């Protein structure tokens, strides 16, 4: 056997061992790429903030930022960032909202920033639930949910499950609107597409097909009925292709609409017109217009 053949056989053996022994094919931990370093603080942008600690389960502490709590004339946006880095690198996507009467709660999932633990899609849903519970108890005014990339699919998944997002016995206040940007329609599909771009990861395409699809946004969106939903997505997105937005929309109720943006992945809000559409969406849904 040639050296190349031996390497190929070893790679296949390692993949099979991963699948059979660790269950990595059905685990969603590898969808998350956290970074523990903070690259900037809200002070750098001149925004007052509070550090909020959440405890979704014993021994797990989530460390989060609540931007401009004293400026929340309109309400509060719960922001779910994508799968890379942490809240410090995603803050610029939402900091501008504080100039328009909205406070922003940035959630760091388990393993991100200063948050303890390791994330899967299931634990991330529990983390969102903990943030929703805290905001229901500690804020006033309308609540809006906004997620980018992985966070967008997570937001759809969360709001599609009334046992999590609509439990009145827990005193949860409903979200008035949902906005996503560059949300993947299907986890197995986005994994296959990402791996197929690099020949070294081609052997992992088969395990990627085994990722459970019960969290897929295209399946869950039908259960987000009656809530105003705005999908933002760029046809130029090289990470999560525009076809993902079309797939979600194809399964969505009439309350969901798609707005095309421009530029690379999760860059739509750099456009003043897209920001305007964002504000109009949440102001109409909440019945609040707090801009000067």
The pLDDT tens digits for 46-63 are 999 999 999 999 999 999
Rounded-to-integer distance, Cα 175 and Cα 159, Å:
9
Task: Determine how many CB atoms are found less than 10 A away from the CB of residue 50.
Answer: 15
Largest CA distance in the chain: 74
pTM of the model: 0.90
* Beta pairing, strands 143-148 & 33-34: unpaired
pLDDT at residue number 206 = 57
> What does the alpha-carbon distance between residue 198 and residue 209 come to, in Å, rounded to a whole number?
16
Residue 190 has pLDDT above 50, yes or no: yes
Dist CA 92 CA 267 (whole Å): 11
Which band of pLDDT confidence, cut at 50, 70 and 90, is reported for residue 136? Answer: very high
Residue 227 has pLDDT above 90, yes or no: yes
Q: What pLDDT shows up at residue 72?
A: 76
Chain mean position to CA 146: 8
Task: Kindly report the number of other CB atoms within 10 A of residue 126's CB atom.
Answer: 18
Q: At what angle do helices 121-138 and 150-159 cross, to 10 degrees?
A: 70
Rg (CA), the chain: 19
What are the pLDDT digits (tens) for 112-134?
999 999 999 999 999 999 999 99
Q: In the predicted model, is pLDDT for residue 203 greater than 90?
A: no
């Amino acid at each position: 056997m040639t050296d190349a053949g031996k390497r190929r056989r070893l790679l296949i053996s390692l993949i099979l061992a991963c699948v059979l022994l660790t269950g990595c094919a059905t685990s969603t931990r590898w969808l998350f790429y956290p970074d523990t370093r903070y690259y900037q603080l809200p002070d750098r942008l001149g925004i007052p903030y509070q550090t909020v600690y959440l405890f979704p389960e014993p021994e797990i502490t989530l460390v989060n930022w609540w931007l401009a709590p004293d400026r929340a004339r309109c309400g509060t946006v719960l922001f779910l960032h994508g799968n890379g880095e942490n809240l410090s690198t995603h803050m610029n996507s939402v900091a501008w909202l504080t100039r328009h009467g909205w406070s922003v709660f940035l959630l760091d999932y388990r393993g991100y920033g200063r948050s303890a633990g390791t994330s899967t899609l299931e634990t991330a849903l529990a983390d969102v639930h903990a943030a929703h519970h805290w905001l229901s108890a500690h804020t006033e005014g309308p609540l809006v949910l906004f997620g980018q990339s992985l966070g967008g699919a997570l937001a759809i998944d969360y709001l599609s499950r009334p046992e999590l997002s609509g439990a009145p016995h827990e005193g949860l206040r409903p979200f008035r609107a949902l906005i996503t940007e560059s949300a993947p329609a299907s986890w197995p599909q986005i994994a296959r597409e990402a791996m197929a771009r690099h020949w070294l990861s081609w052997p992992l395409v088969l395990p990627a097909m085994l990722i459970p699809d019960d969290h897929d946004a295209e399946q869950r969106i039908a259960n987000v009925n009656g809530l105003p939903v705005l999908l933002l997505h760029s046809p130029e997105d090289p990470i999560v292709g525009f076809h993902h937005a079309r797939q979600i929309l194809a399964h969505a109720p009439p309350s969901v609409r798609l707005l095309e943006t421009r530029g690379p992945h999760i860059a739509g809000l750099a456009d003043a017109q897209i920001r305007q559409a964002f504000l109009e969406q949440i102001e109409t849904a909440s019945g609040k217009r707090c801009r000067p």
